[in-house]
Amino acid sequence: MREIQGLERETGRPVLLGCCLSPWESQAVCDLNAEGIRTYQRLDEMAWALALLAQRARDLGRGGH
């Protein structure tokens, strides 16, 4: 999962990590969150975050594609 975060720098696009386990259920997820790498357990949270990022990109004139 740490390597996936590098995609954000590489592509200039936001990368969201989804995991079915919470930080309380997985030591690995807990460690990632402690390092500042956010993971999402709920699909609706990811959709909400992506929609906001797409709107921000449109507002800044970068398109949402």
The distance in angstroms from the start CA to the end CA of the chain is 24
Let me know if residue 21 belongs to a domain.
yes
Rounded mean pLDDT, 11-15:
81
If you average pLDDT over every residue of the chain, what do you get?
84
Let me know if residue 12 belongs to a domain.
yes
Question: 6 vs 24, which has greater pLDDT?
Answer: 24
Q: How far apart are CA 62 and CA 8, in angstroms?
A: 16
pLDDT, one tens digit per residue, over 30-59 is 998 998 888 888 889 889 988 998 898 889
pLDDT at 30: 93
Q: What is the domain range of residue 8?
A: 2-59
Let me know if residue 15 belongs to a domain.
yes
Let me know if residue 42 belongs to a domain.
yes
Q: How far apart are CA 26 and CA 16, in angstroms?
A: 18
pLDDT tops 70 at residue 65: no
pTM (2 d.p.): 0.58
pLDDT at 62: 67
